[in-house]
Structure 1
Amino acid sequence: MLFNNMKSSVIKLAFLTTLSTSMLMGCETTEENEATRIAELKSINITRDVEVEWRKQAGSGVENYFSNLQPAVVGDVIFAASRKGEVLAYNKLTGKMIWETDTRSNPPSFYDKLTFGDRETDKLSGGITAAYKNIYIGSENGEVIALSQESGELLWRQKVDGEVVAAPDAGDGWVAVSTTSGNVVVLHPDSGEMRWQAETTVPALTLRGTSSPTIESGGVLVGTATGKLQVMLLDQGLLAWDAQIAVVKGTTELERLIDVDSKPIVVGPDAYMIAYNGNLAAVDIQSGRVKWKREYSSYRNLTLDTGIIYLTDAKGFVTAVEASTGVEKWTNNDFYNRRLSQPVVYKDTIVVGDFEGYYHFLDKNSGVEISRYKLDDWDYSAFRWFVSWFTSEDRRAYASPVASEELLYIQTRDGELTALRLP
């Protein structure tokens, strides 16, 4: 009898152990599945149809490389660039080309392009920034390049320590860049002459990207890979103060990443930025005092409009937050893991692009999606369709849209620049 009871107990214990293990494995599998799940797009009630105003081929694009290149608009002109070094200017209303240039020392001939021998690249990756009648672009080759807005003439190129994969900033008569090696560099806008260089700490493992600096009120504000907002004095490069936006937590290396890759936004006395695995924060730019923090995680730039911060987080949620208090106004979680772009304000909507090339137009006040647009793979000439078989054309978007008055501009990985209109 005792043996039978022991046998029964052992069987029950074995069953419970197996059941517990199965449940734990099931929980882990469920969590893993949820972490990698990509949301299917829901059917929406489209209240306004997106129209194509014009479309142009603006160079060879960025292919499948990491890139922060995006168009820039000044007056009636829109500038676009490719990774290889092609830079073009168009009339923003009509799409008529104004000029085209190439930053490479040995630009390809027509024959090279025709026979796919166009292989030299300047690795343009950060920009375009328009200021002082020039445009400024950074490269993975560790260069900052300046071109004339009027003619496209190459004015100067300056070597810096590290890749420039974030857009330069211009202000107070200077140009500032940050590099992947942790350097912040200030240059003269007309000559490229270096005024000063300062270093920030870079951990062994970081995200692929850096914070674009912001020049404001005699200082250079920049996010760091150690979760800080730092301010250097513009005239000397000395550290004025730093503020901790995120602290290391978690057990894995990925969970311990706290990069602040967003460009600081300054409005009045406050600067706003967000960290990966960290916080959205408001900081007083004179003292470095953190006014408020809210737990959000993102590696995209923020957008601020009429007192509201719009952000896309690492999970694909789009959220509106009151800048003065940090109180959440609304959030849209329909785009889970769809790798959204920075949100852009366009008319009365917030526009985000996703990894499949869809553009989602959300109502500014509620976050409800009111329209959607996707570049149709069949919506171009038979010649380009034929060429795509040999060149791996990729019409997905990679950069944030750019809004200017009535039109919205998007650029795809294969270099196509499209102007859209939402009535």
Structure 2
Amino acid sequence: MYARIRFFRLALIGLLSGSLAACGLFADTDPRFDPAPLTEYAPSLAVAPRWSASVGSGGGYGFIPQVTGDAVQVATPSGSVAALDLASGAVRWQVRTEPLSAGVGSDGQVTAVVTQSGEVLAFGPQGTELWRSQAASAVNIPPVVGNGIVAVRTSDYRIQAFDAASGKLRWEVQRPGPALALRTSMRMRLLPDLLLAGLPNGRLILIDTPTGAVRWEASVSAARGASDLERIADVVGEPLIVGTQVCGTSYQGRTTCFDISQGGRPIWSQEVGSATGMTTDEQRLYLPDDRSRVHALNLTDGGGLWVQSALLNRQLSAPAVAGPAVAVGDFEGYLHFLSRADGALMARLRIGGGPITSALVGVPGGVLVQTGDGRLLRVGAGG
């Protein structure tokens, strides 16, 4: 019975946060939450698709392309898993499996996805299936692969590590979680011998990958408010690492940076959160907040540099740096390019395929975009 109640709660918050902001819930009754209309401006950046490939069908927050060397790995909810040439988009290998809930994670040798029943699948460098292992519960966040493990974060707030060669469970770490959690753009990150992950309780955790020992844990943002909805403070997007600095951002919360070389001491914290995540050019952090205002923060001290409100309530994706711009996708399938220097609108490109919910991935000279209809595009920015 408890499991059914928990599933209902997770499904409910997934629906309520389909736009991942209050605008999606109240837009019909309160014009303050209406998406801003697109405005005309003089483009100052040339953007165009370099290639486009159909890799399956469907999309979602748990599906983010991953670049390894000169290849890009990609998966879709329909059960398609593929590796493409990054320069041309040509398919190097492709396999079909059962419907998926999350993917992909890859180190170029092992590529992992998760089925809707919580089974972790691993494929070799030519798409040959290596092993299958059952996760503790559903997985809606892309796995990560490296350091000899395939790691997943499950819906019951466990991080589980499977041996990359055999699929045997090596360790797991579990933390208590809130009554409600978001289904949004979230990712874990691997460092040499370490795994960094955000949690639904507003915390970051650093785990030793050989042993599963927790090396460090700290709060990005504390839950606030009287109701379960008001108290959602999930760490969203991918935690960022620049030198010895680790940064995380949370939904309706804060963005906080820590110094790992000093035991994880907080360096700064700003009252700016995000619904989908952030990116960095190693001088600034860029993030769309819960109302799709895009912020630039100084990486050194968290000081606000600019805010762009022209895309208010357009349900923006996690951003990526693209040449002189920072790129975001919106609910109508548009890509927007904003100046990294001052936030000015530089270019706009209609991608189509429904809302862009997958996090954008920066590549040399542009971005990778995975669409809601199962396409992967490489878009060039600046030439």
Corresponding residue pairs, total: 355
How do residues 122-201 of structure 1 correspond to structure 2 at under 5 angstroms? 123-125=100-102, 127-131=103-107, 133-149=109-125, 151-201=126-176
Report how far residue 217 of structure 1 moved: 5.5
1:180, 1:210 within 8 Å by CA — same for their partners in 2? no
Higher RCO (CA 8 Å, separation ≥ 6 residues)? 2
The residue identity in structure 1 corresponding to 2:68 is V
Query: Distance in 2 between the 1:76 and 1:230 partners?
Result: 31
TM-score of the aligned structures, taking structure 2 as reference length? 0.85
Post-superposition Cα deviations, 1:116-157, rounded to whole Å, max 9, x if no partner, equal xxxxx2x232x32220522222344212222223x1111122
Query: Distance in 2 between the 1:90 and 1:234 partners?
Result: 29
Query: Distance in 1 between the 2:211 and 2:340 partners?
Result: 41
Unaligned runs of 5+ in 1: 1-28, 105-120, 377-393
Counterpart of 1:38 (choices 31, 35, 39) is 35
Unaligned runs of 5+ in 2: 1-25
Normalized per residue, the structure richer in strand is 2
How do residues 138-287 of structure 1 correspond to structure 2 at under 5 angstroms? 138-149=114-125, 151-209=126-184, 211-216=186-191, 218-285=193-260, 287=263
Query: Distance in 2 between the 1:324 and 1:272 partners?
Result: 11
Instruction: Identify if the C-alpha distance between structure 1 residues 58 and 297 changes in structure 2 by more than 3 Å, giving closer, same or farther.
Output: same
The residue identity in structure 1 corresponding to 2:348 is R
1:139, 1:165 within 8 Å by CA — same for their partners in 2? no
Aligned residue in 1 for 2:57: 60
1:138, 1:166 within 8 Å by CA — same for their partners in 2? no
Alignment of 1:414 onto 2:373: yes
The residue identity in structure 2 corresponding to 1:397 is I
Query: Distance in 1 between the 2:31 and 2:51 partners?
Result: 40
Post-superposition Cα deviations, 1:174-233, rounded to whole Å, max 9, x if no partner, equal 332211110011222222221101111111122125843333354433222222222333
User: Which 10-residue stretch deviates more, 205-214 or 330-339?
Assistant: 205-214
Alignment of 1:347 onto 2:347: no
Instruction: Identify if the C-alpha distance between structure 1 residues 223 and 94 changes in structure 2 by more than 3 Å, giving closer, same or farther.
Output: closer
Instruction: Identify if the C-alpha distance between structure 1 residues 264 and 398 changes in structure 2 by more than 3 Å, giving closer, same or farther.
Output: closer
Instruction: Identify if the C-alpha distance between structure 1 residues 49 and 305 changes in structure 2 by more than 3 Å, giving closer, same or farther.
Output: closer
TM-score of the aligned structures, taking structure 1 as reference length? 0.77
Aligned residue in 2 for 1:117: none
Query: Distance in 2 between the 1:235 and 1:420 partners?
Result: 38
Post-superposition Cα deviations, 1:262-301, rounded to whole Å, max 9, x if no partner, equal 3222223221001112110012335232221100121323
Query: Distance in 1 between the 2:312 and 2:77 partners?
Result: 29
Alignment of 1:91 onto 2:85: yes
Superposed CA RMSD: 2.4
2:61, 2:183 within 8 Å by CA — same for their partners in 1? no
- Bigger Rg over Cα: 1
Counterpart of 1:356 (choices 317, 325, 332) is 332
1:223, 1:230 within 8 Å by CA — same for their partners in 2? yes
User: Which 10-residue stretch deviates more, 304-313 or 47-56?
Assistant: 47-56
Query: Distance in 2 between the 1:209 and 1:194 partners?
Result: 26
1:178, 1:210 within 8 Å by CA — same for their partners in 2? no
2:196, 2:204 within 8 Å by CA — same for their partners in 1? yes
Alignment of 1:299 onto 2:275: yes
Query: Distance in 1 between the 2:186 and 2:375 partners?
Result: 26
Query: Distance in 2 between the 1:89 and 1:237 partners?
Result: 30
Instruction: Identify if the C-alpha distance between structure 1 residues 55 and 412 changes in structure 2 by more than 3 Å, giving closer, same or farther.
Output: same
Alignment of 1:402 onto 2:361: yes
Partner SS for 2:30: helix
Normalized per residue, the structure richer in helix is 1
Q: % of aligned pairs identical?
A: 29
1:132, 1:189 within 8 Å by CA — same for their partners in 2? no
